[in-house]
Structure 1
Amino acid sequence: MTDSKEHRGWIGKLFGGRRTRAERPAPARPAGEDPRAWARPEELVDLSSLPPHVAEDMVATAALIDEADRAREHGHREQAEELLRAAVRSTVDPYRQLAEERLGTLLSENGEVEEAIALWLRAAEGPDPGLRQAVGVHLGSIAFTDAAFLVRADPATVLALLPGAWGAGRLGAAVYQASAHRHRDAPAAVRRHLLALDAARYGDLDLAARIAAVPVPDEPPSRRRVEWASGAQLGGCRWSTPGHADGVSAVAAGTVTVDGRPVVVTGGDDGTVRLWDLATGEPVGEPLADHTGPVLAVATADLDGRPVAVSAGTDKAVRVWDLGTRRLLHAPLTGHTGWVTGAATTTLRDRPVAVTCGHDQSVRVWDLATGEPAGAPMGEPAGPGSAYPHRLAAVVTTVLDRRPVAVTGDFEGTIRIWDLAKGRRLRAPLVTGTGAVEALATVSAGGRPTLVVGGSDGTATLWDLASGAQAGERLAGSAPWPQAVAAVTSGAGPVVVTGDTTGMVRLWDPATGRQTAQAFAGPLGRVRTLAASTADGRPVVLVGTGDGRVHRWDPDTEGPVGRPLPGHGDTVTSVTTIGTDGDTLVVSSAWDGTARLWDLATGAEAGTPFTGSGEPVHGTAAAVVDGRPVVVVAEGGETARLWDPVTAAEAGALDHDADVHAVATTTLDGRPVAVTGSADGLVRIWDLGTGEDLHGPLAGHESGVIAAAVTVLDGRPVAVTADEDTVRLWDPAAGTPIGPQITVAPPAGPGPAADPEDEAPPAVELLATAVVDGRPVLAVGCEDGLVHLRDLTTRAPIGGPVHAAGLTAMATARIDDRPALVTGGDDGVVRTWDLTTLTRSGPDLVLPFPVEALAVAPDGRLVVGFGREVGVFGPADPA
């Protein structure tokens, strides 16, 4: 809060100036001049020279503020508030600005934060820089702790305040930013729900509850409230902005400035080069458009005080841009005969140069001032049997033994070091063994020049450039996907940055090989390119993603905000619930080859995750075997494994001849059984107590089984399985099919009827069963987003199909004692349908990522797998 005595000097100046400056009257100024010009304390003049109404306003406002300060010092807060409310009506700055800051502070202490923030926002536009700084401190902390402000404020206002968040406001700012891409243009009710969810993802359930309780005018109350959620995909980026129409393929963040502002330079698949303000993420000028194909490499340099950028790509030419004038310095530089995939800059013989490489396997050096080649191209023929004889993938420059060198990597995983002064390779090539080289960076590790290599095998490796030896362990990402890399030396020492197709960006300590921080840079595209720099001695990471966005991540030296629950390292594939020792657990599985246990009520990790063989897990189902809970895990590798969630031990294996993609469980004459379907189109019924295949493979499907469910028909258990084209019912006791197969007919389209032989039906993807008015009902979800309902007794369709756009997940439940269908889509929306009326029921549930899996717990809680995360939503508290 601002010390009132600090600004009382203004008021003393005003009153004192009126008394003393009469002896030396200042020149009169035109009466029509902006009154704020008279109001700055450092410019005070004899009041007699001011227009009468301005002088009276100044004196009256100063007197009100002075009296309010004294009233507050004596504990008369109500009187101080009344006086300040009169003062904020002034038309003269900065006294109005001071009154707004004072009144906002008083109101915030009284708990009236929304009005206080409105006053501070007005004061932030005032002329006095000291007051602007003071209210900026309030807005960076107090504003982001106020739930009502987060929900109801104009998103543009909140987003503008994000960079100034500090202290207690950091968590609220992170919560707001996490899904801003989803809620900034959404209604306030959707924003409220997403903010509450993201607060829970950060582990602050109190903030989540306060946000959920904010009333939103003219909006229906939420049907469900978040109880907990994991936070594996939380953001952490300081800003994220739409960049290119297509993916961002190159990024450079050097020390160049344009119009006094440090800038980021990016290249895109749309063929443009763009500039961004490093501090704000705002675009700087219009795109630089001269390339005739995707830009694959960019670099920056200072050319005799002029900021320049080098760009190159699939059109084989190298371009040098004057970033101040936004013009080419030279005609495009030609010489490469293939795509140019790498660009870097350095100094050679006191001249700034660009170094480029490409698919023609040549390394070329260009004088940036003249645009002429600086020496002959460097390169060497490919070895015999080379799969990629002409493909260099990346280049970086550094200094080795006081010599400027370029380091290139190719698609065979080979590293070469080039002496730029002599124009030749410096030593024998280095074979990395990490697959194709995807990206290169250099850093000083332990005082030695070190190369960071991002490989196509999903690892980043460090190499001592002086000795050619590998330095330390491989830095492994969460998946075997190509790694983008960057490196920088910060005040805390060298750091290595990696990113991959999962959207996760990681920070590593090269000395220990340990990950020190991570941020999720998606959420809509994979990491394609990275650059790193420093700001105030701290690392700054720039990320370009496949969705065309550019992100800035500042690894936070103050430590992470919140307490997010850990989660999966890849997309969730299924969620279900299971009872154990009187508690209910959530079981989730993912493509990362794991299954995790969560306490349904609290989200606390319950037991040790299942890891199995490490193959992707397609689904899970729960059962009780000999009084103990068991989870059937359908994973790759032709096996469904039995997992005891209490002991975390494997309790058996159900072997198949192909990958198991579908699993469901039921009881048969009191015995727990599992129904599994595999990629070879076979269905099996297993006794989970003995591990016996009761009937041998059941044939009937013409393609791989992709879904399984169970129900009761005529008082006996029935298994339901589906391939892409048909659905079949099975008697688990006899191991025989029940009736003919069910085929989902394609929807009738406009125009003349199509020949059935020419039009394939939409592929079946999901199954669920329910009981509606005492009838067993089957829901069949297809790739076209339609859910077809069938009466399993008669096989007849029930009504028209339900239109669930982008259908990705489906479950049935009883909600408010009525049968309901719950669907999830790739648009991140959960929708609910009344199965009796086939109409939408209640408001949608919006999530920040695509919905991947759904389940409804016995007590009615909704379990959702979205992206790599898991969340639980209970019924909203009654109003």
Structure 2
Amino acid sequence: MADDLWDSDDDPTDLGRLVNADPDSVHIELLAASDRDESTAASLYRVSLPTHRTLSAAQRRFVLALDAARADAEELAQQLAAVEVPGAPPLGWRVDWVRGSQLDSRLHWTLTGHQQAVTTVDTAQVAGRSLAVTGSRDGTVRIWDLTTGAEAFPALRLGTDTRSSLDAEVDRVATVTLDGRDLALLRHRQPGSEERVLLLDLVTGTLVGECVRVAAVADLDGRSVVLTVEDDRTLHLWNTATGAQLGASVPAQLLADEHGHPLALRAELDGTTRFWDLSDLSGASLGTPLDAPPADAADELADPRATVLVVDGRLLACAFDAVDVSHLTDGDTAVVVLGDLAAACGLRSGAVARTSPYVEISGHPVTLLRDHGGLLRVWDRVTASRAGADGWVVTTEELGGQPIRLPAQPEQCPWSWDPADPAPAVAAAELDPATTVLGTVVVDGRVFRLTTDADHAVRVLDGASGTEARRPFANHKDRVRAAAMAVAGQRVYGRGPLAGTIREELRAVTAGQDRAVRIWATDLARQINEPLKGYAGQVWDVATATVRGYPVAVTAGADHTVRVWHMWHKPALRCTEIRGHGDTVLAASISTEVGSRPLVVTAGADGTVRTWDLPYGLPTGESIRMEAVLAAVARVGERRVVVTASADAVLRRWDLSGRTELDQAMTGHTGRIVGLATATVDGRAVAVSAGTDATVRVWDMATGQPVGAPLTGHTSRITALATATVDGRALAVTGSWDRTVRVWDLANGQQLGAPLTGHADWVTALTTTTLDGHPIAVTAGRDGTVRTWSLRDHAPLAGHEPLPGRPAGPVRSLAVVTADGGAPRLVTTSDTEPCQVSVRDLSTGAELDAPLVFPAAVTALLPHPEGRVVVCYGTELALLAAR
């Protein structure tokens, strides 16, 4: 984007317009710009859009300023924070720094709507639109327009099982073209029923058919026929030459003996009730109707639904709930072939057939589909020819069907067809048993196959010869789950033996169980930049598409999102990767001892404890590798020592200078440790811990020995802990499930005053501070209130009424920040809006800012005496300074 646009009134990158204008309008204007030339502000806006798209202008201003700091663009962050928003006060915070940033300028869209992990994705070009089709564990299928980032159609819900209340999970999506219609195949299994493959019309967003399950294939009375079964156990017999149905399905009932075992089948045939003995499925009598039920038949089964198939007066098959059928489970459908049909199939009358959508007819592997018009279609999965970059053309022999395009899908998926041609692709039997085929792609008429094996490398094989066509990609640290390829344009070689030649430049995208998503230049087997950043969990599937002429990668994630990434350019933002946590920050602590440089200690779900220099946010050394859920820091003599609490209720001490563990772990708690802080008692550094065993324990930081007996008094688990110094006396303040707040003298281990009561539910968070020179404790409860208490009077602070939790609901974390003699700011976040932080005047409860919105859930708030607060969210931490 040209620099002179900054002076234009219509410039989409004008900072005031970025903050105040309608996000969708601004984004459309930014899409018209070349991504190779766009400014940092434009790139930042696009990447930040998923977070700020639905926010107010005042909230958007903070999000953009925060994300500019995440991109290491400090000057732009200050400029965005200073933008005026009509009707809103100036932003009350300055973002000093952000560390562990997960911002990635290759992100094009974040598509949200799924409520559980997104497990599968495929793409298609339909009516000039680039679409993505996604399936999720929430039982929905969604179709997305990759150009606008909006859903092309309302979400399609596939149903919920009435017995288990579980959704039907979609575990595979593939796009095809049949009779000129663009479709998606959806494979799912609802609890208690068989696997189904449905057809979704990508033009209308509606279901138009399904792959039927075949129970038998035979030549009956000189006709090629197939027996199919529906999910409701309805049977159909089809003439494969004409697509017409033969005979009729008749509802039937199962009769049971006194023990509930199926004994007989009853149906109405031509107005006459007939019975069939089921007591011996292998017996010949099963095909012979009876005039009366067997003597032992006592009652109908609780689920009596069954179907019989009658052709020209002959009973040829029946279907019922697979009770007591050895190779099936209750809820599956047992299909029994009888009489002439059994003989034509070469089976014994009464044999239970195995059903599958994938069968052979006249020696050809085929898949049968039924559309909502009732027509049966047969897809031949062998007869094939190449059809360019869009896939394969497949014709059908039995019904003379139209060409279809088959997708590149993993070989281990039973409905991922692998068409053959005169130069067949590598068969699974020819590959090493440890090799997994991730997918195939056709480029300029040439077939490539992506495989992986035990060394976690991804190899590109020539589909005709099976030889390696590219050097392997080898950077993943764990099993590769998915891979895809796309043409990124043409590359002109300027030197070497290829000088002057032009070749299609390919990009590959791979997703591993190591949670890394990597983009590769396939010609050089070289990774392009760092792995894609920003996912909060595993990526389950990847696909590629073309949007506005450029290739993109589409990823399906366990964090409920679908993300679209640019594959052709380097990151536009100046995002400097600072070492940080590789997973969620679980807890944090801050040291502010006089004469020492402030230090922040964080414990992450990645199994590391890290320390950060507070003024600049720089790591102070290598991380400490250990599983910790809490951490605190104190000065012991000339050393800084970190104390950590692990999930096994053990406290450990670490010397920060050498990152070494000090002798003697501290044990004594009989339940999980949920609170940890440090204090100075009579000139001695101590650690204070509180746990679910309802005790508070004090430990000498120099020796690791307990100081005095455990502090007892709470009648239930302790849920919050903080320390303070009041009139020269070291105190601990605790909150509990018993709804009380208690104050303890750490020098003598005595409780000061009576328990502080008022919360109507358990205490969720607390902090200590001063208000007008008076030492206080601020507590939050699950009752949705925030209360203030005098640490001198050991009573509610006079003149201060309880405040409601903000955002609405139980408070997760809180801090009090005071800057330059201004009003003390109460900063809180809740479980109901975990990504939002409320800022209020502690004295009056008045809102001082619109809620601050972060790109991930806030896990900790740490106040600093100089009017600053450290905010830990997701894997990142930021230092905000009050203005």
TM-score (norm 1): 0.64
In structure 2, what residue type is equivalent to 1:485? A
User: 1:727, 1:742 within 8 Å by CA — same for their partners in 2?
Assistant: yes
Alignment of 1:652-801 (within 5 A): 654-656=665-667, 659-695=672-708, 697-701=710-714, 704-713=717-726, 715-725=728-738, 726-738=740-752, 741-742=755-756, 745-746=759-760, 761-762=761-762, 764-773=763-772, 775-798=774-797, 799-801=800-802
Query: Structure 1's 463 and 493: CA in aligned 2 closer, same or farther, altered over 3 A?
Result: closer
Q: CA deviation at 1:191?
A: 1.9
Q: Secondary structure at the match of 2:598?
A: strand
What are the within-5 Å matches in structure 2 for residues 170-209 of structure 1?
Answer: 170-209=39-78
- Answering whether residue 875 of structure 2 is matched by residue 868 of structure 1, we say yes
Question: 1:625: Cα distance to partner?
Answer: 1.3
CA distance in structure 2 between the partners assigned to 1:409 and 1:718 by the alignment = 63
Matched, 1:622 2:633: yes
Q: Which runs of 5+ in 1 are unaligned?
A: 2-104, 119-138, 340-357, 377-395, 747-760
1:828-867 matches, within 5 Å, as: 828-841=835-848, 844-867=851-874
Q: Which residue of 1 aligns with 2:476?
A: 475
Q: Is 1:238 matched up with 2:108?
A: yes
Could you say if the C-alpha distance between residues 660 and 318 of structure 1 is closer, same or farther in structure 2, counting changes exceeding 3 Å? same
In structure 2, the CA distance between the partners of 1:843 and 1:280, relative to structure 1 (3 Å rule), is closer
User: Which residue of 2 is the match for residue 334 of structure 1?
Assistant: 213
> Per-residue displacement from partner, 1:774-826 (whole Å, max 9, x unpaired)?
54422222234322333344443344432223422112343443554322335
Partner Cα distance (1:361, 1:609) in 2 = 58
Change (3 A) 1:591 1:875: same
Measure the CA separation in 1 of the matches of 2:66 and 2:50. 14
Q: Quick one: distance in 1 between partners of 2:206 and 2:850? A: 52
**Distance in 2 separating the partners of 1:416 and 1:507:** 24
Instruction: Provide the residue aligned with 1:135 in structure 2.
Output: none
CA contact (8 A) 2:585 2:603 kept: yes
Q: Deviations over 1:689-713 (max 9, x none)?
A: 2222223554555555443211235
1:234 Cα deviation after fit: 1.7
- Equivalent AA in structure 2 for residue 241 of structure 1: L
Partners of 2:30 and 2:42 within 8 A in 1: yes
| Partner residue in 2 for 1:251 | 121
Label 1:702 to 1:405 Cα distance change in 2 as closer, same or farther (>3 A). same
Is the aligned partner of 1:825 residue 2:830?
Answer: yes
Seen in structure 2, the aligned counterparts of structure 1 residues 693 and 463 have a Cα distance that, compared at 3 Å, is farther
Q: Is the 8 A contact 2:185 2:198 kept in 1?
A: yes
Contact 1:620–1:632 (Cα < 8 Å) also in 2: yes
Contact 1:234–1:519 (CA under 8 A) maintained in structure 2: no
TM-superposed CA distance for 1:215, in Å, is: 2.5
Report the Cα offset of residue 546 of structure 1. 5.8
- Partner residue, 2:611: 597
* Range with bigger deviation, 324-333 or 826-835: 324-333
CA distance in 2, matches of 1:863, 1:635: 23
Partners of 1:228 and 1:405 in 2: CA distance: 44
Of the structure 1 ranges 537-546 and 154-163, higher mean CA displacement relative to structure 2 is found in: 537-546
Q: Report the Cα distance in structure 2 between the residues aligned to 1:270 and 1:416, rounded to whole angstroms.
A: 23
2:2 equivalent to 1:159 = no
* 1:558 partnered with 2:570: yes
Give the deviation of 1:833 after TM superposition.
4.0
**2:183 alignment partner in structure 1:** 308
Alignment-mate amino acid for residue 555 of structure 1: M
Against the structure 1 CA distance between its residues 196 and 322, is the aligned structure 2 distance closer, same or farther, given a 3 Å change threshold?
closer
Measured in 1, the distance between the counterparts of 2:507 and 2:568 equals 15
Are 1:706 and 1:722, in contact at CA under 8 Å, matched by a contact in 2? yes
How far is 1:861 from its partner? 1.8
Deviations 1:421-471 (A, max 9, x none): 99xx965998879xxx9x955689xx9954348x9xxx9675899899xx9
What pairs with 1:572-651 in structure 2 (closer than 5 Å)? 572-578=585-591, 583-603=597-617, 605-613=618-626, 615=627, 617-651=628-662
**Residue 555 (structure 2) aligns with:** 543
The one-character-per-residue Cα deviations of 1:74-110 (angstroms, maximum 9, x if unpaired) are xxxxxxxxxxxxxxxxxxxxxxxxxxxxxxx9xx85x
User: Would you say the 8 A contact 1:813–1:820 is kept in 2?
Assistant: yes
In structure 2, do the counterparts of structure 1 residues 148 and 803 end up closer, same or farther at CA, with 3 Å as the change threshold? same
- Relative to structure 1, is the Cα distance of residues 464 and 736 closer, same or farther in structure 2, using a 3 angstrom cutoff? farther
Instruction: Quickly say closer, same or farther: Cα 1:420–1:728, change in 2 above 3 A.
Output: farther
Q: CA distance change for structure 1 residues 184 and 475 in 2, over 3 Å: closer, same or farther?
A: same
Q: 1:317 aligns with which of 196, 203, 222?
A: 196
Name the SS of the counterpart of 2:581 in structure 1: coil
Bigger proportion of residues as helix:
1
Q: Which residue pairs with 2:242 in the alignment?
A: none
Report the AA paired with residue 621 of structure 1.
Answer: A
- Tell me by how many angstroms 1:489 deviates: 5.8
Q: Is the 8 A contact 1:405 1:419 kept in 2?
A: no
Residue type at the aligned position of 1:622? V
Farther-moved stretch of structure 1 (506-515 vs 542-551) = 506-515
Maintained 8 Å contact 2:871/2:877? yes
Deviation track 1:722-752 (CA, whole Å, cap 9, x = no partner) reads: 4433544333223444455555541xxxxxx
> In the alignment, which residue of structure 2 is the partner of 1:755?
none
Aligned with 1:518: secondary structure?
coil
**Where in structure 2 are the equivalents of 1:86-101 lying within 5 Å?**
none
1:490-513 Cα distance to aligned partner (Å, 9 max, x none):
5665634227798x7444789989
The C-alpha deviation readout for 1:524-571, integer Å capped at 9, x for no partner, is x87554323567997522133467653311235334521244332222
Is residue 808 of structure 2 the alignment partner of residue 811 of structure 1?
Answer: no
Once residues 614 and 710 of structure 2 are traced to their aligned partners in structure 1, the CA distance between those partners, rounded to angstroms, is 36
Give the Å deviation of 1:870.
1.1
Paired AA for residue 677 in structure 1: A
> For 1:475 and 1:597, how far apart are their aligned partners in 2?
28
Task: Spell out, residue by residue over 1:229-264, the C-alpha distance to the aligned partner (whole angstroms, 9 max, x if none).
Answer: 1353325421233455766443112xx432133432
Distance 2:203 2:836 in 1: 45
Does structure 2 retain, via aligned residues, the 8 Å contact 1:299–1:310?
yes
**Cα distance in 2, alignment partners of residues 283 and 844 from structure 1:** 28
Instruction: Report the secondary structure of 2:722's partner residue.
Output: strand
Q: Percent identity?
A: 32
Identify the residue that residue 99 of structure 1 maps to in structure 2: none
The 5 Å alignment of 1:446-461 reads: 449-452=449-452
> Using the alignment, how far apart are the partners of 2:539 and 2:187 within structure 1?
20
Higher relative contact order (CA 8 A, sep 6+): 2
**Pair 1:280 & 2:148 matched:** yes
C-alpha RMSD over aligned residues: 4.9
Distance, in Å, in 1 between the alignment partners of 2:149 and 2:700 is: 59
Q: Residues of 2 paired with 1:515 and 1:595: CA distance?
A: 30
Give the SS at the match of 1:693. Answer: coil
Cα contact 1:640–1:653 (8 A) shared by 2: no
- 1:405, 1:279 → 2: CA distance? 23
Residues in 1 aligned to 2:230 and 2:730: alpha-carbon distance in whole angstroms: 64
CA contact (8 A) 2:542 2:553 kept: yes
What is the number of residues matched between the two proteins? 664
Structure 1 counterpart of 2:244: none
